[in-house]
Amino acid sequence: MNHHRRPRPETLLITLTGKDRPGVTSAIFTTLSRAGVEVVDVEQILLRRRLVLGVLVTIPRDWKKLRDAVEATARDLDMSVDIERGTGDNKSRRGGRSHVTVIGTPLKATHMAAVAGRIADTGANIDRIERMARYPVTAIDLHVSGIDTDTLRTTLAVEAAAQGIDIAVQPANLQRLGMRLIVMDVDSTFIQGEVIEMLAAHAGFRDEVAEITEAAMRGDLDFEASLRERVRLLKGVPEAAFDTVYDAIELSPGARTLVRILRRLGYRFALVSGGFSQITDRLAADLGIHFSRANVLEVIDGRLTGEIVGDVVDRAGKARALREFAAELGLSEASVIAIGDGANDLDMLNAAGLGIAYNAKPVVRDAVDTAVNVPYLDTILYLLGISREEIEAADAAEGIVTPSPPI
């Protein structure tokens, strides 16, 4: 029995370019319909009212007649057309498929040239490029095939550091589209500043506590020992200080947007903090966050004792909380996104399917796959394939007005 490989079908690539106007796509498909061809692939983009429409169709017996008809339609539309005869479909290369999200403020042509050059050096191919945001950051998503995600991530991490831009590389799989759990550090990640320093100000020890906190976040000190040392300095602070500190907290830019948009899509959220439950539990309740875990400061007779109740939520404790919350939701760790900035976040970041170092200390940036160094927490949405335009449209439907970009 002879097995013959089916010949690759002959195809015609029609590329139309020119000024956009209503009816262009309709006109070209009406012309194609008269030839009875099958549509194999279509891609259309619009750049500042300039349209590029590519249509790949099966080739008819009298293809020159179709060519003449398409050229006549293009002339009527006052557009340019290029028609190329060939074989086969427009399939991605075999091997790994990844999403590469490039973020810059600004994003320069030299940055894109460097990224594209490194991808080419690996022998991979950029199949598609689309813009995710132009304000307040520029975010571009590249669909890359022909190389495994880990190799591509390692290569581009070097380029991101050299260029001073952010590059996130993720596998192009269904995981990116599914409901996920987002676990966030609190101090200097979900909120600006450090709660313990704000509490210490009430005891007159803000500078001393800030110095110890900085060393602990760099990874220079044992987290639990340094936390207990700082908490001892809070002895005698009145319980009412929690209300004062809570009222003074400022969320990181984009934090509300991140939670609002992803809650609509069924995502779950958790705050996991080396800080204090007296603050994080209130944050979670006020913002509709599903889980919260942090240290409990002991209060007796309305004043802090300088001690912690129960186990300390340290580096290992944060990772444990992530696993427990995921298990409670019936999710794998691969479905978890973790966001943090300090050395005590490292186990949690590495336990997650996607660990994001957010404006992090160098020791953290160097140890994780993805770093975001712009001060907007909702930038994470672009890594999930959600564009700025989609965010603004969803908010507008809810009557929420988002600031417009400068012209």
Q: Which residues are catalytic?
A: 185, 187
Q: Crossing angle for the helix pair 277-287 and 255-264, nearest 10 degrees? A: 50
Give the residues across from 54 on adjacent strands: 15, 43
CA 359 – CA 210 distance, rounded (Å): 18
Which residues, 6+ apart, have CB-to-CB distance to 264 below 8 Å? 394
Residue among 30, 52, 159 nearest 102 (CA): 159
* Cβ-contact 58, 13 below 8 angstroms: no
Rounded to a whole number, what is the distance in angstroms from the first to the last CA of the chain? Answer: 68
Residue 84, beta-bridge partner list: 13
Sign (positive/negative) of CA torsion 381, 386, 388, 391?
negative
- Residue 274 near residue 197 (C-beta atoms within 8 A): no
What DSSP letter does each residue of 64-88 carry, written as one string? HHHHHHHHHHHHHTT-EEEEEEEES
- CB atoms under 10 Å from CB of 117, counted, come to 10
The residues with which 44 forms a beta bridge, in sequence order, are 53
Q: Please list the residues that pair with 128 across neighbouring strands.
A: 143
Coil, strand, or helix at residue 203? Answer: coil
Residue among 396, 135, 399 nearest 254 (CA) = 135
Helix (H), strand (E) at residue 347? helix 346-351
Length of the chain: 407
Tell me the Ramachandran region of residue 276: left when phi exceeds 0, alpha when psi lies from -120 to 50, beta otherwise.
Answer: beta
Selection from 12, 7, 374 nearest residue 168 by Cα:
374
